[in-house]
């Protein structure tokens, strides 16, 4: 049985946060992706592809909320970690 911290559960939470972001429910999206990102960092580290994806979504949500000072460093971190993990030419 999958628990609240199982990889599939965290993927579902990430996807729900993305939908909430797209529908303008920014507070709920922010809360959910913060929780998901923290768990992914805890279990798989900052360089895990799923963690990096959640970093990007968190940055997007922060940007949508108008918190560019918090969004920009997180976008930069996600890009740098992606480059390290996949190389500069990965698309």
Which residues neighbour 16 within 8 Å (Cβ) at sequence distance 6 or greater?
Answer: 32
What tens digit of pLDDT does each residue of 22-54 get?
Answer: 999 999 999 999 999 999 999 999 999 999 999
What tens digit of pLDDT does each residue of 57-76 get?
Answer: 999 999 999 999 999 999 99
User: How many percent of the chain have pLDDT more than 90?
Assistant: 85
Contact assessment for residue 63 and residue 79, using Cβ atoms and an 8 Å cutoff? no
pTM score of the predicted model: 0.91
What does the alpha-carbon distance between residue 58 and residue 1 come to, in Å, rounded to a whole number?
28
For residue 6, the model assigns a pLDDT of 92
Q: How open is the CA angle 83-84-88, to the nearest 5 degrees?
A: 35
């Amino acid at each position: 049985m999958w628990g609240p911290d199982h990889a599939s559960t965290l993927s579902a939470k990430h996807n729900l946060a993305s939908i909430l972001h797209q529908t303008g429910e920014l507070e709920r999206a922010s809360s959910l992706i913060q929780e998901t990102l923290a768990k992914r960092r805890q279990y798989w580290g900052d360089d895990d592809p799923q963690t990096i994806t959640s970093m990007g979504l968190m940055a997007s949500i922060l940007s949508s909320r108008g918190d560019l000072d918090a969004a920009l460093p997180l976008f930069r971190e996600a890009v740098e970690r992606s480059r390290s993990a996949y190389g500069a030419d990965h698309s």
